[in-house]
Amino acid sequence: MNCGVMNYSETSFAPSTTAPFLSLEAVRKTYPGVVALDGFSMEVGPGEVIGLVGENGAGKSTLMKILGGVTRPDSGTVTVDGVAHDGLTVEASIGSGIAFVHQELNLFENLDVAANIFFGREPLKAGPLRLVDRAKLRQMAAPLLKRVGANFSADAPVASLSLAQQQMVEIAKALSIKARLVILDEPTSSLPIAETEKLLDVIKGLRAEGISVIFISHRLHEVERVADRVVVLRDGMLAGTLPKSEIHHDQMVKLMIGRMLKEREKAAEAGRAPGGVALSASAVRTSAYPDHPVDLELRRGEILGLAGLVGSGRTELARVLFGIDERLGGSVALDGKALRVGSAADAVANGIFLVPEDRKLTGILLDLSIAENISLPNLPAYAKRSLVSASAELATAEKQKKNLGIKAPSVLTRTGTLSGGNQQKVVLAKWLAMNPKVMILDEPTRGIDIGAKAEIYGLMRSLADAGVAVLMISSDMEEVIGVSDRIAVMHEGQISGILDKDDFSQENVLLLAVGKKPRPAHAVGGPQ
């Protein structure tokens, strides 16, 4: 795969003029106390890419379940090839050529690629044992892999593939059932830049073959590049539809949340004067790149974006700074004083906090309440005679819930029931209650909708304005450029360069990410 400068194809496709093969009319679906879809209508024509956007809770998941035959609408019709239905079954959905590639991939890692593509539909050899015909299986899979531009063979173990390659296997599986519509749910949320480019090229290849695509994503710049038409959901209703000529970031945001967002512009304001160095790493060596020392300075009152390709060592550096992983060499200083961080407890005791990449796995305990998650890292502060004071715990949680705008019925709500954005706010809340000096955020808005992203950005900016040093690791180029005060870029375990605002551009970040020198601001047209 090309790991150089991002170069999405700018080919523009005119929306199909052929009659739609699939349409929904006045579809309504309710759950106890919730209207998930309210009179929603849309059409899908052959060979068009539809960007489906909306905040979490807007109704996207319910719509997908209806198209997949998992959920039946309360009213309305689903029409396929001119035949109206009051709902689809799973079998009818598959028979209509509707295929899904979910955000959480559904592959068997202990099997090879061909076995995954045709699982349950394997060709069998003649004879009493009816064994799987492995040669024919690979023969059947090969042309499907070629159609999606795969650079791996049909007999490659799925466990050996990258996330983008695994998504290609899912798309090949969809093509194997003669899909006419492929629905991609947040397909790029966990992908590095180069692999995202490859996947978007695959989407355009599907469209060129006359296969329709519904592309669901919170990354609006990707929707802007690939979609022929954008359908916007808000509160279960159709908020609007944008033709190709009107697909722009601000237009999508306005339809999604009913207003324009200014947080990115505020975050990108120039002229902020950061304070002195809060945290410094000198010749720090990690287990990922033991021979490559890292030098980095993080200032009070700034958001330092840390960019780089997946595998460049960003997360490993964060884990060392937070004391999760052993530092193999070098030194770390806090406010100019040498600091020994032998464990996460040492980091927390010194006011260094980490919001991890996988919030559900390592950031929060899903079965505990909001209040319990917030108090957990600092239980002694809530204890009287070795017993946790419920009233003190609740008071802090209520304060953080209000300050961070956590949307939940109460602080006693189980954290696992919250949206991704609100779960991330709970992760932030537990640290904010402890007065951070340094906040490290690893992929802080992954899988979060545009409205919640703006709120997270606002919280990060508030922290910086209060003098906290913020280190933000992100694979989202738009985020890195739009939110950071400076950008440090890693390549193979080392800082390959640091960009000031005048030199911010996608090209410069990517040049540094692959170990090359950035171009002067005047040569790349200034900030992007």
What does the pLDDT look like over 314-363, one tens digit per residue? 989 999 999 999 999 999 999 999 998 889 899 999 999 998 887 777 78
Q: Which of 435, 454, 470 is the last residue of a domain?
A: 435
Residue 347 and residue 442 in one domain: yes
Domain containing 393 equals 365-435
Residue 303 and residue 377 in one domain: no
Whether the Cβ atoms of residue 518 and residue 481 lie closer than 8 Å to each other: no
Q: Which of 400, 416, 435 is the last residue of a domain?
A: 435
CATH of the domain at 326: 3.40.50.300
Residue 466 has pLDDT above 50, yes or no: yes
419 bridge partner residues = none
Q: Give the rounded percent of residues in the chain with a pLDDT score beyond 90.
A: 38
For residue 67, tell me if it sits in a domain: yes
Residue 440 and residue 427 in one domain: no
pLDDT of residue 523: 54
For residue 195, give the 3-state DSSP assignment: helix
Our count of domains for the chain comes to 3
For residue 166, tell me if it sits in a domain: no
Residue 304 or residue 168, greater confidence: 304
Burial 290-309 (b: 16+ CB within 10 A, else e): eebbbebbbbbbbbbbbbbb
Q: Give the rounded percent of residues in the chain with a pLDDT score beyond 70.
A: 91
Residue 452 and residue 336 in one domain: yes
Residue 334 and residue 370 in one domain: no
pLDDT of residue 25: 94
Residue 446 and residue 513 in one domain: yes
Q: Which of 435, 467, 496 is the last residue of a domain?
A: 435
Whether the Cβ atoms of residue 400 and residue 410 lie closer than 8 Å to each other: no
The 10s digit of each residue's pLDDT in 389-415 is 888 889 999 998 988 888 888 999 999
Q: How far apart are CA 92 and CA 67, in angstroms?
A: 10
Provide mean pLDDT across the span 414-435: 86
Residue 472 and residue 343 in one domain: yes
Q: How far apart are CA 479 and CA 245, in angstroms?
A: 24
Residue 409 and residue 503 in one domain: no
Residue 86 and residue 185 in one domain: yes
pLDDT of residue 527: 43
Q: Residue 264's pLDDT band (boundaries 50, 70, 90)? A: very low
For residue 427, tell me if it sits in a domain: yes
Q: What is the 3-state secondary structure (H, E, C) of 140-170?
A: HHHHHHHHCCCCCCCCCEHHHCCHHHHHHHH
Residue 383 and residue 424 in one domain: yes
Residue 8 has pLDDT above 50, yes or no: no
**383-384 and 352-355: which strand pairing?**
unpaired
pLDDT of residue 272: 58
Residue 3 has pLDDT above 50, yes or no: no
Residue 482 and residue 343 in one domain: yes
Q: How far apart are CA 422 and CA 366, in angstroms?
A: 12
Residue 446 and residue 514 in one domain: yes
For residue 458, tell me if it sits in a domain: yes
